[in-house]
Amino acid sequence: MLNVVVLVSGGGTNLQAVIDAVESGKITNTKITGVISNNTGAYALERAAKHGIANLCISPKQFGDREEFNRKFLEAIDQMRPDLIVLAGFLVVIPPEMIERYRNRIINIHPSLIPSFCGTGFYGLKVHEAALSRGVKVVGATVHFVDEGTDTGPIILQKAVEVQADDTPEVLQRRVMEQAEWKILPRAIDLIANGKVSVVDGLAVIKE
d(CA 64, CA 59): 11
CA proximity to 160, closest of 144, 173, 141, 147: 141
CA proximity to 27, closest of 15, 35, 36: 15
Least distance between ligand GRF and beta carbon 37 (Å): 10
Q: What are phi and psi of 68, to 5 degrees?
A: -65, -45
Which range, of 4-12, 60-68, 145-153, 155-163, touches ligand GRF by CB under 6 A?
4-12
Between residue 40 and residue 69, which ones bind ligand GRF under the rule CB under 6 A? 44
Which range, of 8-16, 66-74, 148-156, 192-200, touches ligand GRF by CB under 6 A?
8-16
d(CA 160, CA 17): 18
CA proximity to 104, closest of 197, 208, 176, 172: 197
Q: Strand (E) positions, the chain?
A: 2-8, 30-37, 55-57, 84-87, 106-110, 138-145, 155-162, 197-200, 203-206
Q: Given the residues 51, 110, 128, 144, select the one marked as catalytic.
A: 110
Out of 5, 7, 12, 153, the residue judged to bind ligand GRF by CB under 6 A: 12
110 is catalytic: yes
Between residue 157 and residue 186, which ones bind ligand GRF under the rule CB under 6 A? 177, 181
Q: Give 34 or 89: the residue with its C-beta nearer to ligand GRF.
A: 89
Out of 53, 109, 118, 189, the residue judged to bind ligand GRF by CB under 6 A: 109
Least distance between ligand GRF and beta carbon 128 (Å): 9
181, 86 Cβ separation under 8 angstroms: no
Out of 2, 4, 6, 14, the residue judged to bind ligand GRF by CB under 6 A: 14
Binding residues for ligand GRF, per CB under 6 A?
Answer: 8, 10-15, 44, 88-89, 109-111, 124, 177, 181
Which residues participate in catalysis according to the annotation?
110
